[in-house]
Chain A
Amino acid sequence: MSAEWGGDLSLPPLAMLQRRATLLADIRAFFSGEAVLEVETPLMGPAPASDLALSPLITRYEGPGGNQDYFLQSSPEYAMKRLLCAGSGSIYQLSKAFRNGESGRFHSPEFTLLEWYRTGFDYRALMDEVSDFLVQTAGMPVARLISYQHAFESAVGVEPHAASAACLLEAAKDLGLDVPVSVESDRDALLDFLLTQRVESSLPTGVPVLLFDYPVSQAALAKIRPGDPPVAERFELYFNGIELANGYSELTDAAEYRRRFEADNVRRLAAGVVQVPLDEALLTALETGLPTCAGVALGVDRLLMAMSGAGSLTEVAMLTCSLSRGGRIG
């Protein structure tokens, strides 16, 4: 190590590199203590995540075996689920993840993701573990659980599960918000708009918040619990209004996986976004059976930001994309 540090202002401070190293060691110690197996899965996959809101970075292999495009993984979810189907038991992974089109103070097209799956857990048990994890690795207080519905009703005054697009639009306008015309009739985009404009900033600060039970239209690959209203057994972790993690009770029905992937492609088509190939290796593995489990993906760079009070990813990570330097410009 050089005695002098600095000169290159695009680098995080040396103390932050040391803090990151300590955090990564603490993360590994946590999972070692829980007997969760560390795994590595390919970062280049045959298929990208199907979610409409995720755009893949594509890379190309040329050489023995034939030329082929691969998708840099937006999370190791599909590959890790193949390991779970094969009988790995509980597993975790620390790796880079890639998302096209995302750059800002809290976004980078390349970032570090911690993803873990617990067999035999549902999302409630996993939320408890996320809270323990934050206490032990980040020195945070015990997490508070707030339902998506409660947070929405408190901040926006609308019941989010049943509300129509027109009703959400009216609520946004009543709050004096400037709604982009292009999302006025898009229920999920309006929910996301209100979430980012009002709900996130209304959450308690200084304490991790687990927002749980999401609208079924935003289930991703979470189990849906029937009821009135039915909800997705999905949660998001927030700290000071910033999203740190997303998790759920994992859907186990192979046929339902295929149906949701295909539904995503229908939505992609309608939105004029390129459709994606399905991960057939995953779909085949799912037919042999995914054990009951819950999984969560947590942004390590954002966790480091939360722990250190940093205002931008550039303060905690070495980034390629200069736009990640931040939104405060001019």
Chain B
Amino acid sequence: MAKYSTNEFRGGLKIMIDNDPCTIVENEFVKPGKGQAFNRVKIRNLITGRVIDRTYKSGESVEAADVVDADMQYLYSDGSEWVFMNPESYEQVTAGEAALGDAVKWLKEQDVCVVTTWNGNPISVVPPNHVTLKVTQSDPGVRGDTSSGGSKPATLETGAVIRVPLFVEEGDLLKVDTRTGEYVSRAKE
């Protein structure tokens, strides 16, 4: 099993902690002038998303996690599983609901996502920062209605509901920021 010494620690390094794959977020070298050196690290658990603090005696080794990020095209879903394909190798992987998380709200067939696999199995999916989706339902805006702040809800083809300006109509294509879940602009086909 591959191992990393604390000397190799850096942001983004994938290591195993308590049997879960984790990524190093922050690494600080701490040492009293005449004393023991430590690496104080912040680590994000890639399964739970939780960030924890860990301290290692400098020079210790930690088991590496076989975690790979790859750009993959979303192909289709049967509602319980989502299938992605590596556009270079044509290799396909199937992700479950847990790995999808919030990404499910933004997934449109053929969009390229970052799929993180651990030992070959998808553990997380990050959609493109911006996606273009069609409005499937939105009530007409009421001109002069200031109580809603000049916006109204709209349901998109993926089922996601976002706030949009009053001029948006059913059938419009919208550019949406998936990181914030906010409307960016109207888009052309």
Contacts and interface: CB of A to CB of B under 8 A. Distances in A.
A183 B30 contact: no
Nearest to B56: A180
A330 B24 contact: yes
Contacts of B82: none
A183 B32 contact: no
Interface stretch (B33-41, B64-72, B97-105, B122-130): B33-41
A324 B30 CA distance: 12
Contact of B34 (A51, A103, A186, A189): A51
A312 B40 CA distance: 16
Interface string A176-206: 0111101100101101110111000000000
A192 B36 contact: yes
A232 to B, nearest CB: 11
A53 B31 contact: yes
Contacts of A102: 29, 31, 37
B54 A178 contact: yes
Interface size class of B (residues with CB under 8 A): 20 to 34
B53 A220 contact: no
B28 A104 contact: yes
Nearest to A243: B33
Given A182-B57, A182-B60, A330-B12, A246 B33 contact: yes
Nearest to B42: A330
A183 B36 contact: yes
B162 interface: no
Most chain B C-beta atoms within 10 Å of own C-beta, residue among A107, A189, A193, A327: A327
A240 interface: no
B24 to A, nearest CB: 7
Contacts of B38: 180, 192-193, 196
Contacts of A330: 10-12, 23-26
B32 A243 contact: yes
B58 interface: yes
A105 interface: yes
Interface residues of A, number: 34
Interface in B1-47: 7, 10-12, 23-38, 40
A318 to B, nearest CB: 20
A102 B59 CA distance: 11
Interface string A157-192: 000000000000000000001111011001011011
Contact of B32 (A101, A105, A195): A195
A246 B35 CA distance: 12
A189 to B, nearest CB: 4
A179 B33 CA distance: 20
A218 interface: yes
B185 interface: no
B10 A329 contact: yes
B55 interface: yes
A192 B35 contact: yes
A327 B28 contact: yes
B29 A218 contact: no
Nearest to B7: A101
Nearest to B35: A192
A236 interface: yes
B28 A218 contact: no
B26 A329 contact: yes
A328 interface: yes
Given A51-B34, A104-B29, A193-B55, 15 more contacts: A53-B36, A180-B56, A180-B57, A183-B57, A189-B35, A189-B36, A195-B32, A196-B30, A196-B38, A327-B26, A328-B26, A329-B11, A329-B12, A329-B27, A330-B12
12 contacts: A53-B32, A101-B59, A106-B29, A179-B55, A188-B35, A192-B35, A196-B38, A236-B32, A243-B32, A246-B34, A327-B28, A327-B40
Identify the 3 closest CB pairs spanning chains A and B, nearest first.
A330-B11, A104-B29, A329-B11
